[in-house]
A and B are shown apart, each in its own frame.
Chain A
Amino acid sequence: MADLKPLTAAELEDWLDEELDAALSLRRTSHTAATSLASLDRDQQDFARHWVGIIAKTNPELAYHFANRAAEGLRRMAEDDALAWIIQAMDVYDKMGLYPAIAALSEIEAFAALRAQRSRTVTLEEIGPVLELFLQGLSGRRLKLEAGESAFTDTTHITLPAAIALLPTRRENLRLYKALAAHLWAQTWFGTFPGDQPARLLTHCQSLPDAAYARDLFHALETIRLDACLARELPGLYRELRALQNRPPLPTSWGPWITRLEALHATVDDTYQALDALYGEPLPAPHPYQGMIDAQAVAAALKERMEQERVALQNALKTILEGQASAPDERQRVVVRKDETGRPDLAFAPDGQPLMVPPDVRALMQSIAQDLGDIPEEYLVAAGDGAYAADNAKKPEDVWKGTYHEEGAFHYNEWDFKRQHYRKEWCVLRELDVHPVHEPFVADTLRKYAGLAARLRKTFEALRGENAILRRQKQGDDIDFDALVQGFADLRTGRELPDGLFLHNRRVARNIAVMFMVDMSGSTKGWINDAERESLVLLCEALEILGDRYAIYGFSGITRKRCEIYRVKRFEDPYDDSVRSRITGIKPQDYTRMGVAIRHLCGLLSGVEARTKILLTLSDGKPDDYDGYRGEYGIEDTRQALLEARRDGIHAFCITIDTDARDYLPHMYGPANYALIDDVRKLPLKISDIYRRLTS
């Protein structure tokens, strides 16, 4: 293959014209791209053509820009670096859209340089999880790590550069990341921004002639104070900071102020005084680990948080007090006691009764105390009935914007087989409740299948784990006297004493957790939906006999931003009327995006302690969703999700009524892990049978 001659510009142009048709016009031809690609050798051309094809399926416009730059990219970079360049641009496209992606593609030189220094570069993506745990361990409010242009904190988030390659080795750059994070943490922990004056730094700087200079001087002085705090509290970290310092000594005129800032009880007030005294002095070179200060962001974040936390605490106290036996009078104060480190720990009701403070409320109180040094009295008045309630109206469309994605919505990666990479945090999934319907559906079903139900009960009873006493064992819980008497008889007659003289009490315990994943896509409307519901009723009856733990969830959704999982029965729910009414209420919804549903349900299944874990899917067809999740893409993503499940020790099995399923199910689930039912009406009959075979 390597001997193939390179394609000519004309051949390439024809091919590009066809491939990029949608992005071309009379004025904009593929001529330039073809000419530049013609200069490459054949392997490189094929690589470029391969990716032009793939990108064109995502966005023809992006593919056009890629075609124009591919030649330069491939000349500058080896193939694996070029691949990273392409994937990065596509990730940018997924997250931010076309124009940033085109910009990412055109920065070939920068990207190549970046790749060249990759060996020493540390990215936030790789070290972020460790840093986040590190910061959480250091104590204080949970700070969210974000990637940004520079390093600063607004006291709620810590923003760090997405990658650091400043220092010559990887190890040193790792140190620098940690030092930056720790130093920003110190700003939030050692009171650089007290909560009672959110805009103090901002107004103070603005009152001076040169606000930017004043801010930087404040930062330099505050860094001296924080370094001293760190030296006392975290000497190991301080040694690392020292190793990163490389500036000339400060002028002697600073001496007294440095001594004062480094004193044990120095606060940010001393820093402000030093700022006023030293205003006009030349700025010392900043330490590499001190980051930046964004006074505006701090003021905004503080102001917002103070208000939110006050309302949240008052509401939480109200909820707690309502749970108390004695009804709270209006406007009563809760008393908070501190633990020995000064953090609010215990709370007492107005009548002196200790209150059970849930961990999230305790974290809230500690966060408030971190800002204000204490919890102000007005915070400790439980919200009255008419009190201002925070605006909790959250719009579903905000979910994928990340506005409140921690609450109730889950993000999942999705596998793009063409790129052979995951699209990160691509799907947004929410758990919803099935609307219960109180109709006699369950009773009707049981009547309809009365004979079958009785038979099922018998077969499942036989499956139930029972104690079995094994005789004549080499070891066991007790002596097998029959064996022993016979053994002694043998011994007397000169034979050997047999070694199996014990009873072993073996419990054949079933230890199975099964997750039923029910297709609730629009195509199940009618017969299929009825059959699914009937099957679930019969299965539940049978499983109650067996005592296996099971959960039932439906899945559907429309586009990646609205994947939905419907709770019918969670593992911990008993099989009762509310579950029955939810089974009755299973209704066809929208589309079938299977991968994300499998990832979510397997996550739930992994949380259950069981020797055998089964994911059983009831489906009527291929994975299919509105935004391109069909055909090979959907199948490959589903397969990938199932491979992830298998890695977690979950057995996946699929029951389908799609007669074409033989074409794709073996590829997705493996040859022996699916069952095809040709007639929907047989589903209730077959499914219990299949389950029995699967678990015995």
Chain B
Amino acid sequence: MEPGVVKTEALLVTKEPYYEPQGDEILLFESAYRNQIPVLLKGPTGSGKTRFMEHMAWRLKRPLVTVSCHDDLTASDLVGRYLITAGDTVWVDGPLARAVRIGGLCYLDEIVEARKDTTVVIHPLADDRRVLPIEKTGEVLCAPPDFGLAISYNPGYQSVLKDLKQSTRQRFVALEFDYPPADLEKRIVDHESGVGDEAAGKLVRFAAMTRNLKGSGLEEGASTRLLVHAAKLMVSGVGAVAACRGAIAQTLTDDPEMLAAIHELSASLF
């Protein structure tokens, strides 16, 4: 792949990504997309937001451009910038501009991590104007009807710095994600890893135990993603307790007392 030039086909999701709906989120997303309303995905980390986007891109047969936002992400990182080649300047689209041009789905993951001014760039795209002004080239990109915008954020951080402005959030249809109910989560863990029904059930119970500890020293309980990781380790022959320690306990916390407690929990369960 050449830098900056990605073929549209490469972004198409060709194989169906595994996704178990928790509610009516697929219908909601499809309706919002058809009505050209952008979508906000809320939910804790590892609850399936990104997988859901991949699944929707596959369903809608649109290319998916994913941007993982970080705290140094600037507007030009999204829109594009000039590069110099052979004594000349060349304009290169950023991921957002590219998604607008090809009429794809643009997914800005963890939008609150980006700088405050960056979120404003998406405002004209996120209301009925559906345009992306590119200051530096003087262009105004009009989004085709195929273009869809989705952003995600984790309301659990509870930090004043990491909150979405009302002017941003009120442009979106919001879908809430949470850890799936135990039966469904068990099915997901089993399907993703092939660890078997019984072990998956135990992992889900273990996750519930860590979620009981949320607020008492743990910021978050174990996410479904972590369970899948642990299950994959178990399938590769790692012992259950060791897998829980490596894939779950150690990733959740560094606090020795909390680690000891989580370890005792997994040792009790398996």
Interface of A toward B, CB cutoff 8 Å:
129-134, 136-139, 178, 182, 234-237, 240, 339-341, 359, 477-479, 484, 488, 501, 505, 572, 609
Contact = CB atoms under 8 A, between A and B. Distances in A.
A671 B56 CA distance: 62
B74 A139 contact: no
B74 A572 contact: no
Given A130-B257, A137-B210, A182-B268, 16 more contacts: A129-B261, A130-B264, A133-B216, A134-B265, A136-B216, A137-B261, A137-B262, A234-B269, A235-B269, A236-B266, A236-B269, A237-B269, A339-B181, A478-B76, A478-B136, A488-B87
In the A-B complex, the 8 residue pairs with the smallest Cβ-Cβ separation, listed nearest first, are A133-B261, A237-B268, A137-B209, A234-B268, A130-B260, A134-B261, A137-B265, A236-B268
Interface string B128-144: 00000000100000000
Interface string B210-238: 10110111000000000000000000000
Given A133-B261, A572-B160, A235 B182 contact: no
B265 A609 contact: no
Contact of A484 (B84, B209, B216): B84
Contacts of A139: 208-209, 212
Contacts of B76: 477-478
A134 to B, nearest CB: 5
B267 to A, nearest CB: 5
A479 B82 contact: yes
14 contacts: A130-B260, A130-B264, A133-B216, A133-B262, A137-B213, A137-B265, A182-B268, A339-B181, A477-B74, A477-B76, A478-B82, A501-B84, A505-B74, A609-B160
Contacts, number: 78
Given A236-B268, A341-B182, A609 B257 contact: no
A593 B238 CA distance: 55
Nearest to A479: B82
A488 B22 CA distance: 59
A138 B209 contact: yes
B92 to A, nearest CB: 12
Contacts of B181: 339-340
Given A130-B264, A501-B84, A236 B209 contact: no
A132 B241 CA distance: 20
Interface in B133-182: 136, 159-161, 181-182
A235 B266 CA distance: 10
B270 interface: yes
A479 B84 contact: yes
Interface string B58-93: 000000000000000010100001101001010000
Contacts of A505: 74
Contact of A478 (B81, B160, B217, B262): B81
Given A133-B258, A136-B213, A339-B181, A237 B267 contact: yes
Given A136-B213, A479-B84, A484-B84, A609 B159 contact: yes
Contacts of B258: 133
B24 interface: no
B263 to A, nearest CB: 9
With a 10 A CB-CB cut-off, give which of A130, A478, A479, A488 has the most chain B CB atoms: A130
Given A133-B213, A609-B161, A236 B89 contact: no
Nearest to B208: A139
Contacts of B254: none
B183 interface: yes
Given A139-B209, A236-B268, A130 B87 contact: no
Given A479-B89, A572-B160, A133 B257 contact: yes
